[in-house]
Structure 1
Amino acid sequence: MFKKIAIAVALVAASTSAFAQPFAQQQAPSFYAGIAGTSTEIDNLDRESGYGAFFGYKFNQSIAIEGGYYRVADTEYRVGAMRADVTVDQIDLSVIGTLPLSNGFDIYGRLGYARLEAEADIAGYTGKEHDSNALYGLGLGYTFSPVVHGRLEVQKPASDTTKIVAGVSYKF
């Protein structure tokens, strides 16, 4: 019985020291900011290119909180002689969970809140509409240097909207 307890204690001690090394290498908390290009498809409309910026705080290598602003669409629609200028903006706040892989790659998931706001100008008359939804996404990241990180992500800011985001961030 004593031998079994001694072996169990030895295994626990060995495993604790083995796990201590990866946790000691975890990144310190840090702020980051970035820019992104987007391609957004809204059901029954053409795919639109856009841009945006984001700012976040990384608590450790696995958890971050992030906010962003994106110009999802800025386009003109014509039906006969009628013309409409339409812009769609997105403001979001998310929690991001990251799983580091080898060679600088990581995969991440996003869960948060998105507010989409559309504005249309038709013959001098302006109308606005907004929609608030759950935001979720899945992405792949690559660390180019200790301070520069790239990402490619697919997001769903609304049930009828799919957004592809390619961005780069700078950690400070």
Structure 2
Amino acid sequence: MKLSIISVNLSLTLLSLIAGPYAMANDTGWYTGANLGQARAQIDDEQIRHNMLLGTDFTSLTISTDQRDTGYKLFGGYQFNKYISLEGGFFDLGKFGYTVATSPAGTLDGTIKLRGLNLDLVGTLPITKKFSAFGRFGVNYAEARDSFTGTGAVGGLNFNPSQRDTNYKYGLGIEYALTDSLDIRAEAERYRVNDAVNNKGDIDLFSVGLVYRFGGSKKPYTSSYSAEEIAPEVVAPVQVIVPVQNKIEQYCSILDIQFEINNDNMQLEDKEKLAVVGTYMNKYPATTAVFEGYTDKVGTTEENMKLSQRRAQSVVSYLENTHHIAASRLTAVGHGETHATATNATMVGKRMNRRIDAVITCVDDIPGLMVEPARLTIALVIEYDKNKANLKPQYEGGLSKVADFMKLHPSVTATV
């Protein structure tokens, strides 16, 4: 007798491949999931007639078959890179059978149940950022349990053979990333099996399921920014202290105001520059500004610190009173005689050091704000857990942008 079966495998796969709770992001790491669907089988009528009835006094009249059932699988795997993974687990192909009506009057019933373990090498072809196709090839270790029962003229036949055997399997599928951690997949697989009475058959499996990937991210950060997209050309490295509300924010300096010795009064041309700033900040109400005051080394360090604060505050007050910018959007910071941009040994150098630098949140549309010296600063705030020094993954993208920019501009320096 032979049961030649083709079915759809929906199997439950438990990965018993590699020990350890290791999990990584960036296209590598562990994953698990489950599939569910319909199993279909084809019963070989001619083989049944030949094996069961040939050489007997029986002839078959009709054969009815049960060729579909529900199957499932649970699976797990390890992704070595975005193209290759190893996947394995447990599958249950369901139950299939047939009933033969014979002459003289009688019936012959046969059923088979199939379940087992599989181990596959899976190759993935990324099509888009979220959509991919994959193929698999591997082995399955299946247990087949048969049952044969006769009635009427075929009475007396009752036996239940079983067999375990190793065969190949293969399949194709598609997968779509719902989130960084959760995928949905649909696939078709074919299992080669032994039916426990020394006959081989194929089992085709069509299923849908969900895949959960540990680590929450599948794609490594790759900068696609050009120098122009990251920032304008840097004129000179400048240290800037910026109170930053956002965790990662880009700022640009667009203004440079200078003062007379021991004086915190702005000149007319400086007020004209601030008018541009006021217009800009009124146009973009979400922007904020930090005005940093500096002095030369004339006078004591303490006096210069207070003078630099007054200079910065004079700019803030002017924007509040004249251009009606909310005080919550403006910050004045005095740095005294620190961070000099020129030598204090000459009159020209001293004048350059008596200045106000404006650090203002940027947008792309900034007409009229091409005031020298222009520069870019990037303020990056990184938080750590208590008593820890490990960098958290969420900050890697921001640091990668900084690194890319510094590679493009070798003269740029950074203060950490």
Q: Structure 1 length normalisation: TM-score?
A: 0.73
Aligned partners of 2:68 and 2:96 also within 8 Å: no
Counting only pairs closer than 5 Å after superposition, residues 67-82 of structure 1 correspond to structure 2 as 67-74=88-95, 78=99
| Number of the residue aligned with 2:117 | 91
Amino acid at match of 2:210: V
| Mean CA deviation greater in 62-71 or 155-164 | 155-164
Given candidates 116, 128, 131, the residue that maps to 1:105 is 131
- Paired AA for residue 88 in structure 2: G
> Corresponding residue for 1:131?
165
**Are residue 116 (structure 1) and residue 139 (structure 2) matched?**
no
Q: How does 1:5-16 map to 2 (within 5 A)?
A: none
The residue aligned with 2:302 is none
How far apart, CA to CA, are the structure 1 residues paired with 2:111 and 2:41?
16
Distance in 2 between residues matched to 1:59 and 1:140, nearest whole Å: 19
CA distance in 2, matches of 1:89, 1:150: 24
Distance in 1, matches of 2:166 and 2:37, equals 19
Q: CA deviation at 1:50?
A: 0.8
Report the more deviating stretch, 155-164 or 77-86.
Answer: 77-86
Higher relative contact order (CA 8 A, sep 6+): 1
Q: CA deviation at 1:134?
A: 1.6
1:35 corresponds to which letter in structure 2? A
Q: Which residue number in structure 2 is paired with residue 51 of structure 1?
A: 72
2:86 matched to which residue of 1? 65
Provide structure 2 residue ranges, at least 5 long, that are not aligned to the other structure: 1-24, 44-64, 101-105, 150-157, 193-200, 215-416
User: What is aligned with 1:168?
Assistant: 210
Task: Indicate the larger mover: 47-56 or 126-135.
Answer: 126-135
In structure 2, C-alpha distance between the alignment counterparts of 1:103 and 1:43, rounded to whole Å = 39
CA distance in structure 2 between the aligned counterparts of 1:169 and 1:86, rounded to whole angstroms: 30
Q: Which residue of 2 aligns with 1:5?
A: none
**CA gap 1:28/1:100 in 2 versus in 1, 3 angstroms:** closer
Shift of 1:82: 5.9
Q: Which moved more, 1:126-135 or 1:58-67?
A: 126-135
Indicate the structure with greater helix content: 2
Question: Size of the alignment, in residue pairs?
Answer: 147
Bigger strand fraction:
1
Deviates more, 1:65-74 or 1:41-50: 41-50
2:191 aligns with 157
Matched residue of 1:160: which SS?
A: strand
Name the TM-score, length of structure 2 as normaliser: 0.32
1:18 corresponding residue in structure 2: none
Query: 2 CA distance for matches of 1:107 and 1:35?
Result: 18
Cα distance in 1 between the residues matched to 2:96 and 2:113? 6
Aligned to 1:30: 29
RMSD: 2.4
Separation in structure 2 between the aligned mates of residue 133 and residue 83 of structure 1, nearest angstrom: 27
User: Which deviates the most, 73-82 or 53-62?
Assistant: 73-82
Q: Distance in 1 between matches of 2:27 and 2:205?
A: 31
Contact 1:38-1:72 within 8 A present in 2 as well: no
Contact 1:106 1:140 in 2 (8 A): yes
Percent identity for Structure 1 against Structure 2: 28
Alpha-carbon offset, residue 162 of structure 1: 1.1
The question of whether the paired residues in 2 share the 8 Å contact of 1:77 and 1:85 is answered with yes
| CA distance in 1 between partners of 2:70 and 2:142 (Å) | 16
